[in-house]
């Protein structure tokens, strides 16, 4: 956003994310995209402006593509979202994004493949949060994101455990063990779509 003052940010499956309200608005355009019920709820707390927009559609209803300006650089965010979909759904979405936003950068939160398996075998999410949900998609390594589409270029990734270690006393030490981070730690992957 610092590099592209007139860029576009797409926040997929935004939920009640407050990120836009915490940023200096600058000249970029921000689009929060989520299901109609979620956007209706958001409208109780947030108001659209000349640079902030809400789109009430499923991310898989690709008609929302038509609402995005085409002449500016694009950053796409998918946080706390893709792990809840089957791999074939993630692949189709990534193919569509790569085709439509061919020069965009993207930040994706992923869970390790091992957590996907544990989630399904042990109902981890239901036990911890009393929610009927499972993880269905994850990656063992950030670079594996390139396997989804030939137009995806892996840039870098970051483990959650590498930041704010002072919040978790035990995890502070465990996070120094690469095997622990790989098996249990969510990561953010930075990628770029190429033509």
Mean pLDDT of 72-87: 95
End-to-end CA distance of the chain: 22
Question: For the chain, which residues make up each domain, given as ranges?
Answer: 8-193
Q: What is the DSSP letter of 3?
A: S
pLDDT band for 176, please (50, 70, 90 cuts).
low
The string of pLDDT tens digits covering residues 84-140 is 999 999 999 999 999 999 999 999 999 988 777 777 666 666 666 666 678 889 998
The string of pLDDT tens digits covering residues 25-65 is 667 899 999 999 999 999 999 999 999 999 999 999 999 99
Q: Superfamily for 8-193? A: Vaccinia Virus protein VP39 (3.40.50.150)
Phi-psi region of 150 (alpha: psi -120 to 50; beta: other; left: phi over 0): alpha
What is the pLDDT at residue 159?
A: 79
What is the pLDDT at residue 3?
A: 79
List the 187-193 sheet strands across, edge first.
52-56, 29-34, 8-12, 74-78, 105-110, 187-193, 152-159
Percent pLDDT > 70 in the chain is 78
What is the pLDDT at residue 33?
A: 98
The string of pLDDT tens digits covering residues 142-151 is 999 999 999 9
Mean pLDDT of 181-185: 58
């Amino acid at each position: 956003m610092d590099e592209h003052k007139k860029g576009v940010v797409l926040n997929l499956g935004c939920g009640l994310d407050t990120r836009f309200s915490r940023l200096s608005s600058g000249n970029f355009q921000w689009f929060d995209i989520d299901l109609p019920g979620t956007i209706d709820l958001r409208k109780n707390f947030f108001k659209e402006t000349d640079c902030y927009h809400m789109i009430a559609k499923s991310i898989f209803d690709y008609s929302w593509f038509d609402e995005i300006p085409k002449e500016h650089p694009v950053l796409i965010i998918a946080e706390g979202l893709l792990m809840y979909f089957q791999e074939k759904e993630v692949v189709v979405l990534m193919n569509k994004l790569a085709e439509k936003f061919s020069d965009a950068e993207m930040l994706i939160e992923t869970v390790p493949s091992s957590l996907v398996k544990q989630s399904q075998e042990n109902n981890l999410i239901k036990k911890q949060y009393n929610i009927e949900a499972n993880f269905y998609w994850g990656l063992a390594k950030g670079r594996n994101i390139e396997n989804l589409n030939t137009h995806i270029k892996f840039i870098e990734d970051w483990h959650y455990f590498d930041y704010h270690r002072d919040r978790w006393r035990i995890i502070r030490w465990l996070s120094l063990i690469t095997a622990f981070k790989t098996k249990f730690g969510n990561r953010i992957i930075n990628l770029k779509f190429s033509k």
